Structures are given as C-alpha cells and as structure tokens.
Amino acid sequence: MFKHILLPTDGSDLSQVAIRKGVRFAKSIGAKVTGVCVVPTQKYFLYMTEITEQLKEESARHHKQEAERNLAFVAKAAADAGVPCETLCETGDQPHASIVAAAEAHGCDLILMASHGRKGVASLLLGSETQKVLTHSRLPVLVVR
C-alpha cells in the first residue's frame, strides 16, 4: 500500500496528535515517514524602515529553532515506534505549496496531516492549509481530526 508518508507539522497540539497517529499507521503498514515543517520567508518592505539586520536575523533564528523543535517531536515519535524517519525544514510563504512540493520531491506516496476543524465563516475567511493541500496535491491526503 503506502511506503513513504509525509507528516507536516506546525507544532500545534492537533498536529502532534496527527504525528502520533501517522507514526502508528506507518508502523502498522511497514512504511517510513518524513516530517516537514515550513518556516516563512523573511520578507521586509521599504516602509518597514525600523527593522534592523539584527532583528531580521533574530526572527529567522527563532523560526528555525521552532521548526527544529517541531521536527524533533516527529523524529522522537518515529524513533520510539521504530519507524524510519527523515525530517525537512522548508521555507515558503505558502505552507501548502511547500508541503506538496516536499512530498513530490522526496517520493512520498501519502500526506497525513491534521485539520484544525474550523467551521462556517471562519473556515472561509481564514482558509485552511489542509484544505489547500487537499486541493493542490496529486497524492492521497489523509486528514486526522
């Protein structure tokens, strides 16, 4: 069936639940996992004149550290279950596009991710990275709620 599962994470509690379930699923079918965390591209505009190089570097370092913590959770969950695991830190302003691209580039055959379960107007206004992955991925996507 599936041999390589991509597990995107944003570090949220729901994401961690999906990671645990994804790792258990991978173990049950003999698949490997790849954890991915997407950090934003640091874009600054001319009108943001107070932003110093030090602040830019500090912000980038903060995002990288947060991604490393999120990916360490994936790696530990996989190691504890005896599931082969790789981790990726991707940079992009559209997380869904980075997730889909990572899955394709690394030969994944399933994306398993959490849905925050927003309903009604909130889901329409805020958008959902999970919904965008569902819309743009050519690979199967398993959503955990």
Token pair in block for residue 143: 């959503």
Domain locations along the chain: 4-144
Which residue did the predictor score with more confidence, 29 or 47? Answer: 29
Collect all residues with Cβ–Cβ distance below 8 Å to 123 and sequence separation of at least 6: 131
Assigned CATH for 4-144:
3.40.50.620
DSSP 90: E
- Across the range 9-34, mean pLDDT stands at 97
- Across the range 50-61, mean pLDDT stands at 79
pTM for the model stands at 0.88
